[in-house]
Amino acid sequence: MASGEDQELRLEQYLLSHRRCVQIFGRDQQVRQELQLPRNCKCADILALHSPRAAVTEVTVAESKGTDILTALVQLGNAAAGALECFLGVRPRNIRRNCAPL
pTM of the model: 0.81
pLDDT at 42 (0 to 100): 92
> Is position 97 within any domain?
no
- Reported as a single tens digit per residue, the pLDDT across 24-44 is 998 889 999 999 999 999 999
Terminal alpha carbon distance of the chain? 16
- Express as a percent the part of the chain with pLDDT over 90: 47
> Is position 33 within any domain?
yes
Domain carrying residue 41: 3-86
CA 75, CA 97: separation in Å to the nearest integer? 19
> Is position 68 within any domain?
yes
pLDDT at 95 (0 to 100): 47
**Edge-first strand listing for the sheet containing 46-49:** 23-26, 46-49, 59-62
Our count of domains for the chain comes to: 1
